[in-house]
């Protein structure tokens, strides 16, 4: 009985996990195969920097970016990784 419960639990966890969710946001597929970053909400700063450069796009506007590791700076640096061929919706500024 315990073994069946364990198997059922593992199957249920597999269905409930959202593989598109990341610590700093969530991803959605792109139709053109490029990689994008969309900052969903602005934090408490005047300018948002991505990898030391001013992010030229508006809040909720996706901008092309290379997949991989990046640093966002808005009154403090936060590292995050963007998978390839997705829109990474950055929505969590917390610890």
What is the domain count for the chain?
1
- Answer yes or no: is 81 within a domain: yes
- Pseudo-torsion of CA 81, 83, 88, 92, nearest 10°? -30
- Answer yes or no: is 35 within a domain: yes
- Answer yes or no: is 30 within a domain: yes
- Answer yes or no: is 33 within a domain: yes
- Answer yes or no: is 4 within a domain: no
- Answer yes or no: is 46 within a domain: yes
- Answer yes or no: is 14 within a domain: no
Q: What pLDDT shows up at residue 25?
A: 94
- Answer yes or no: is 40 within a domain: yes
The answer to whether 59 and 9 have CB atoms below 8 angstroms apart is no
Q: What pLDDT shows up at residue 44?
A: 85
pLDDT tens profile 26-46: 999 999 999 999 999 888 888
Task: Quote the domain boundaries for residue 26.
Answer: 20-90
3 state DSSP class of 21: strand
């Amino acid at each position: 009985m315990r073994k069946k419960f364990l198997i059922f639990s593992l199957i249920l966890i597999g269905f409930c996990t959202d593989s598109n969710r990341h610590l700093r946001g969530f991803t959605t597929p792109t139709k053109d195969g490029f990689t994008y970053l969309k900052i969903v909400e602005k934090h408490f700063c005047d300018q948002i920097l991505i990898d030391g450069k001013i992010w030229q796009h508006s809040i909720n506007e996706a901008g092309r970016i290379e997949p991989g590791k990046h640093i966002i700076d808005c009154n403090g640096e936060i590292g995050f990784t963007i998978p390839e061929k997705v829109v990474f919706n950055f929505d969590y500024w917390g610890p």
